Amino acid sequence: MNEKVPDFYNNKDLIFDEIWTLLSRGVVDRSEDFRLPVVIVNKGQLSDGRIVVLRGAFKDRRVLRFHTDLRSSKIEALKENNNIYFLFYNKKRKIQVRAKGVATIHFKDKITDEAWKRTMIISRKCYLATNAPGSVSENPHPGYPKELGGKNPKIEDTEIGYENFCVVESKIKEMEWLYLASQGHRRAKINIEDNGLINTEWLTP
């Protein structure tokens, strides 16, 4: 039995909105697959990928946001090459999205101030690590002070973590969308111009 055909199946003009609906849902819904994209950065001739938590999806600005430690290797890579790539997949809806963008690192500005105020204590705790993420440790260790194991600090004791906190905002320039369906897959490419206008074209799956 064939699946129900969604409205965007044969209408490329609906695809952009469908993508951003899933992205916006990923920001607020922990069960949404788009909440945890793979992010790929480049340093020299090497590519490096990891999962991040999607913290913002701003359709009007064509911007995706995540938080990270300023000392992390991905920030080091982005300072050298600010091209960034996202990979999303929603298993239930069978939709894959690849997005290309240009990243801006925010540190100690209005954007990071507001984001830090909204960051929960359990997340702030991660920024209390003395050593940089990925640094060698002689023993297994969570990074943050040993006395915080199994408990959360007082919020005022987390403020020092702001020194390691940054926000990465990525201006999306291109998206490639793939929908898997028993009646035939669909694939499309969306180019986003500097003025925000979009151009969508069908691709062979």
Assign domain 7-203 to its CATH superfamily.
Electron Transport, Fmn-binding Protein; Chain A (2.30.110.10)
Find the angle CA(173)-CA(174)-CA(179) to the nearest 5 degrees: 150
Q: What is the pLDDT of residue 28?
A: 98
Closest Cα partner for 107 from 80, 135, 72?
A: 72
User: Quick check: helix, strand or coil at residue 72?
Assistant: coil
Q: State yes or no: pLDDT of 196 exceeds 60.
A: yes
Which contiguous run of DSSP H or E holds residue 74? helix 73-80
Tokens 């949404």 found at: 32
Binned at pLDDT 50, 70 and 90, residue 2 comes out as low
Domain ranges of the chain: 7-203
Closest Cα partner for 23 from 68, 67, 66, 64?
A: 64
Binned at pLDDT 50, 70 and 90, residue 158 comes out as very high
Q: What pTM does this model have?
A: 0.94
Closest Cα partner for 37 from 65, 71, 61, 58?
A: 65
The tokens for 41 are 């950065």
